[in-house]
Amino acid sequence: RAGNKKQQTDYQDYFNLKVPSDWVAPHKDILNYFSSANAVYQSFASCSQDPVKAYMATQALPKLMTEGQITQKAITGEAKSIGLQ
């Protein structure tokens, strides 16, 4: 549970970041990805209490991985557009 508290704090810190207007969409994508990933991993963490929920989380993994790749490409594209890569 301590890890979950840290994740919530990190998420909130990231949520509160002020980003340039051209980074708003990638920023939201990142937040959505982290929120989805947290839900999946929390389902795994509680598998002994709710095995059906954990099973459903395994079904969500392929979509989560795809979303992560899409988000990474968007971030990379934005970084390149401003000369960070």
What's the pLDDT score for residue 14? Answer: 84
Mean pLDDT of the chain: 87
Q: How far apart are the first and last CA of the chain?
A: 37
Q: Is 20 helix (H, G, I), strand (E, B) or coil?
A: coil
The per-residue pLDDT for range 26-63, each reduced to its tens digit, is 889 889 988 898 889 889 888 899 999 999 999 999 99
What phi and psi values does residue 46 have, to the nearest 5 degrees? Answer: -105, 25
Residue 3, pLDDT above cutoff 70: no
58-69: average pLDDT: 93
Residue 13: pLDDT band with limits 50, 70, 90 = confident
What phi and psi values does residue 18 have, to the nearest 5 degrees? Answer: -90, 125
Cβ partners under 8 Å of residue 56, min gap 6: 43
DSSP structure class, residue 14: H
